Chain A
Amino acid sequence: MYKKMMKKQKNRNKELINVESVVIRFAGDSGDGIQLTGNRFANATAIIGNDLGTYPDYPAEIRAPAGTLAGVSAYQIQFSSKDIYTPGDKVDVLVVMNPAALKVHLSDLKPGGTIIANKSNFKSRNLKMAGWESDPLEDDTLSNYKVYDIEISRFVSSALKDMNLPSKTIERTKNMFALGLMYWIYTRPLEPTIEWLKVKFKSRPELVEGNIRALKAGYNFGDITEIFPASYQVGPAPLKKGTYRNITGNYAIGLGLLAASQKSGLPLFFGGYPITPASDILHQLSHYRNFGVKTFQAEDEIASIGSVIGAAFAGNLAVTASSGPGIALKGEALGLAVMTELPMVIVNVQRVGPSTGMPTKTEQADLFQALWGRNSESPMPVIAPISPGDCFYATYEACRIALKYMTPVFILSDALLANGSEPWLIPEIKQLSPIDVKFAVDPGEDSVFHPYERDKETLARKWAVPGTAGLEHRIGGLEKENITGNISYNPDNHQLMVNLRAQKVESIAREFPAMEIYGKDTGDLLVLGWGSTFGAIRAAVEKLRDEGMSVSHAQLRWVNPFPSDLGGILVKFQKILIPELNTGQLIKLIRSEFLIDAVGLNLSTGKPFTRSQIIEKIKSIM
């Protein structure tokens, strides 16, 4: 939506027009610094109080050949003076650094939308590589759009010419020029970016200077030249009071772990192995040595979960993060974690599969893997955060449940949440629910310690860490006799233990608050989602409710166990629609659990849902 409110003001040199929401996409070679440019824009946008959602979309290849379609990296941001839930569907402004970026992204531009192109890169070689027969900036390909073709390379070389920098270095500052220009068009402050450049290139003053010059050159270019008739203003969104920062899902997970470590008083141990898109969590935590955080980059995925099981046995808050293929490798060890009933958290930042799939793209197809990707009956609670900021709370909750119930807990994030960002109200640590950990300290009445004696309420066994005198005991992957923990092949005992392990996980549902329903709690249609689809579904349902349709929305965070009020909610609607970025996983669970003939909306493109895809589906079934 690009509602012009037409409240004009006098700006610096030009007219200033108020608008409600804008979607911008930066696109260029993966070597053009597109992600960095997008991040800076998001930051400046957050600081002036807009609500925003971002969607970084980059190739798996670190440096695909320059100028090719495969090498195009993009960063989309929607910002608004209203509450928004997604990075936006169609794009208002497309900033392209080369012909390949234009080729890949043109189809997402709204009719009449704006293109800002770095003309310097539209040379015949680049055009050919991107598959353009002739220069689209010159022929009538773009006649339905507003096109601004700018010789960015030429402008930055003249802005930096007296600095004696190598031409390659000068060329690299062109993203700052584009950023400066966008700052002018959308009236964002330059200062945060300037401060950031000073820190980023602390030891290279010439780069600080060069990039600042390019940034300002872009800004002044918008202000002074005749091409742009006006700039735009997006007012602050009506966000709740408090202090905010912009946050990505991966970063929020790191902070959530740290918070859980502090509140529980347990040292944080993180065992990881590099894998896209989860590695950032390892990187981030490795900086927190002064918090006593122990990060361990293991030799493989199996070793990383092995180390986590060991650390859990020895009394740390133990965590690992990976993505689908890595989780597959951890499967056997996760069975051991279930059998030994040790508390730990396993993060799966889902990506497209099967196998290596499309590592940087998003999908929700590991739900079944989380539930059943281990041999035999191996139940584990699963929580799926619904937004980048919620990754903090979901992580904290996962840790709390793991420690309280003595169980491994899965977090199902995904590439969209991991790299996407939103403004985040910084929580008060004091207000987070307490995490009380009680290690076993004495063996009990008859002086014989029973490692599988359970808490009556939670069914959690005792956590008796090595180093505690009198509690020496042995655990392992062989079936345990309930209470004593001795090896047991007794048929009745195995039945009992299978039941107990399942019951324990089921009983976690008592911790969940009542499900929130957006809209009426009865009606024609309930859209039920899980995890990261929250934003797109909410945006769609909001729109249709504004149009008067009887649609409601509920989003699952805990997908195992289901909230106990879910069944009662579902039966109050004529129809249930379940959108998922897979071929239908939650829907199978809902159908089999509640015998409800839900309808699916399924997408496997590596891209998140757009609001319009969901609206279209809802309209088609109502």
Chain B
Amino acid sequence: MAESITSKPLTRKDFISDQDVRWCPGCGDYSILAQVQKTFPDLGIPKEKIVFISGIGCSSRFPYYMKTFGFHTIHGRAPTIASGVKLANPDLSVWVITGDGDSLSIGGNHFIHLMRRNFDINMIMFNNEIYGLTKGQYSPTSELGKVTKSTPFGSLDRPFNPPLLALGAASTFVARSIDKRTHHLQDMLKRTHEHKGTSFLEIYQNCNIFNDGAFKNLTDREVKDDNVLVLENGKPMIFGSKKNKGIHLDGFKPEVVELNGKFSVNDLVVHEESDRNLGGILANFTHNEKFPTPIGVLYCEEKPTYEDLLYDQIESAKKRLGEGDLEALLHSGDTWVIK
């Protein structure tokens, strides 16, 4: 096998494939692609060891645009194919690219099992709260009462809360970012890569054709700081355009407090990424008007990965039983000889 072609440091260009990008002009996907291509040279992984695996949907075109190994699979099943890739070759850096419909509707079962198994796989979910590729039906993350092509009288099912679902499915890394917050997104991509175990990164992504402005209150200059809580490990949870608000915990009950004398920074919760309960509390802020929407790493804790456990089993079985001997296995049990 050829050595890594070049020892020259990789640049953004090395990750740009020769395929024309075919998302709608103005789509949030462009920003995500750009941040990925910008970040990847810094991850220090040889290009040939990177595999992007997607399902079906607008976001799932992503692998074609990355000059790495890529597999554009079928609707909802990217996690299953990624699992096979990782088990076959644990050395690979495996990235699942999916959308809210792909991963939470048709692929919901695979999503939860991917989380609990904890392969060292990174899942990036582009959440635009709509079906884009099929031209505008409501998705499992659309808000209740959403009027779309398939729900002219409003949708009737309550949306998933993806980080909470991931936590409920025993995920070991849950993070969130937003297409427009390019630096934050780059940081989150790095964190996603660094975590050994299944990393779940939800990215709020604007579909300017079918669901424009879905995240307006999180991205518009005037309001975003009052509506977004940027999490930093070991730091108190402060937000607001004047940095004048924070999260206070009364027992297990969170509340938004003003830093106006009655409460000071010392009364605020300090973010602890490894605190699973805190992760759950933060995830519950999603879709809750009383709280800001948290972005950043909600929860992160190292647990043994599935593939490490599997390869350990293989090694220890070899030690205990000796390297498998097919000839001996064929002749094991009751045999007899015809002369």
Q: Scan A237-272; emit 1 where CB is below 8 A from any B CB, else 0.
A: 001111111100000000100110010000101010
Question: CA A468 – CA B27 in complex, angstroms?
Answer: 33
Which chain A residues lie closer than 8 Å to B195 at the CB level? Answer: none
Given contacts A240-B338, A245-B331, A245-B333, contact A289 B73 (CB under 8 A): no
Within the complex, what minimum Cβ distance (angstroms) separates A301 from chain B? 10
Within the complex, what minimum Cβ distance (angstroms) separates B107 from chain A? 9
Question: CA A288 – CA B328 in complex, angstroms?
Answer: 13
Which chain B residues lie closer than 8 Å to A258 at the CB level? Answer: 324, 326, 329
**Is B134 in contact with chain A by the CB < 8 A criterion?**
no
- Say yes or no: B87 contacts A294, CB within 8 Å: yes
Within the complex, what minimum Cβ distance (angstroms) separates A113 from chain B? 29
Within the complex, what minimum Cβ distance (angstroms) separates B161 from chain A? 21
Q: Which of B72, B110, B320, B324 contacts A303 (CB 8 A)?
A: B110
Question: CA A311 – CA B86 in complex, angstroms?
Answer: 8
Question: CA A492 – CA B82 in complex, angstroms?
Answer: 33
Within the complex, what minimum Cβ distance (angstroms) separates A574 from chain B? 40
Question: CA A333 – CA B81 in complex, angstroms?
Answer: 10
**Is A327 in contact with chain B by the CB < 8 A criterion?**
no
Give the interface size class of chain B. 35 or more
- Say yes or no: B69 contacts A466, CB within 8 Å: yes
Q: Scan A462-482; emit 1 where CB is below 8 A from any B CB, else 0.
A: 000111111111111110000
- Say yes or no: A306 contacts B5, CB within 8 Å: no
**Is A31 in contact with chain B by the CB < 8 A criterion?**
no
Q: Which of A292, A468, A472 contacts B324 (CB 8 A)?
A: A292
List residues of A (318-339) whose CB comes within 8 Å of B's CBs.
Answer: 318, 332-333, 335-336
- Say yes or no: B48 contacts A309, CB within 8 Å: no
Residue of B nearest to A303 (CB): B80
- Say yes or no: B2 contacts A47, CB within 8 Å: no
Q: How many residue-residue contacts, CB under 8 A, span A and B?
A: 221
List residues of B (83-99) whose CB comes within 8 Å of A's CBs.
Answer: 83-89, 91-92
**Is B223 in contact with chain A by the CB < 8 A criterion?**
no
Within the complex, what minimum Cβ distance (angstroms) separates A130 from chain B? 35
Q: Which of B48, B85, B320, B327 contacts A472 (CB 8 A)?
A: B48
Q: Scan A283-324; emit 1 where CB is below 8 A from any B CB, else 0.
A: 000001111111010111011111111111111101000000
Question: CA A269 – CA B74 in complex, angstroms?
Answer: 21
- Say yes or no: A313 contacts B71, CB within 8 Å: yes
Given contacts A299-B113, A474-B70, contact A236 B82 (CB under 8 A): no
Given contacts A290-B324, A299-B109, A310-B53, contact A474 B72 (CB under 8 A): yes
Given contacts A298-B80, A313-B71, contact A466 B2 (CB under 8 A): no
Q: Which of A49, A302, A441 contacts B2 (CB 8 A)?
A: A441
Which chain B residues lie closer than 8 Å to A300 at the CB level? Answer: 109
Question: CA A598 – CA B285 in complex, angstroms?
Answer: 70
**Is A524 in contact with chain B by the CB < 8 A criterion?**
no
Q: Scan B1-38; emit 1 where CB is below 8 A from any A CB, else 0.
A: 11111000000000001010000000000000000000
**Is B153 in contact with chain A by the CB < 8 A criterion?**
no
Q: Which of B1, B63, B320, B321 contacts A469 (CB 8 A)?
A: B1
Question: CA A236 – CA B83 in complex, angstroms?
Answer: 50
Within the complex, what minimum Cβ distance (angstroms) separates B12 from chain A? 16
**Is B317 in contact with chain A by the CB < 8 A criterion?**
yes
Q: Which of B71, B87, B314, B324 contacts A307 (CB 8 A)?
A: B87
Within the complex, what minimum Cβ distance (angstroms) separates A199 from chain B? 10
Q: Which of B1, B19, B318 has the most CB of A within 10 A?
A: B1
Which chain A residues lie closer than 8 Å to B318 at the CB level? Answer: 289-290, 292
**Is A589 in contact with chain B by the CB < 8 A criterion?**
no
Q: Which of B87, B92, B329 has the most CB of A within 10 A?
A: B87
- Say yes or no: B77 contacts A466, CB within 8 Å: no
Across chains A and B, which 9 residue pairs bring their CB atoms closest together, nearest first?
A310-B84, A306-B80, A476-B72, A291-B324, A307-B84, A289-B317, A314-B88, A474-B70, A310-B81
Q: List 12 A-B contacts (CB under 8 A).
A: A243-B337, A289-B317, A292-B318, A299-B109, A299-B110, A307-B87, A318-B88, A335-B74, A469-B46, A471-B48, A477-B72, A486-B19
- Can you name 15 extra interface pairs (CB under 8 A) apart from A303-B79, A336-B73, A474-B71? A49-B338, A255-B329, A271-B84, A292-B324, A300-B109, A303-B80, A310-B86, A442-B2, A466-B89, A467-B1, A469-B48, A472-B70, A474-B19, A475-B72, A477-B72
Spell out A's residues near B (CB within 8 Å). Answer: 43, 46-49, 192, 236, 239-246, 255, 258-259, 262, 267, 269, 271, 288-294, 296, 298-300, 302-316, 318, 332-333, 335-336, 340, 426-427, 429, 441-442, 465-478, 486-487
Spell out B's residues near A (CB within 8 Å). Answer: 1-5, 17, 19, 46-51, 53, 56, 63-64, 66-74, 77, 79-89, 91-92, 109-110, 113, 310, 313-314, 317-318, 320-324, 326-327, 329-331, 333-339
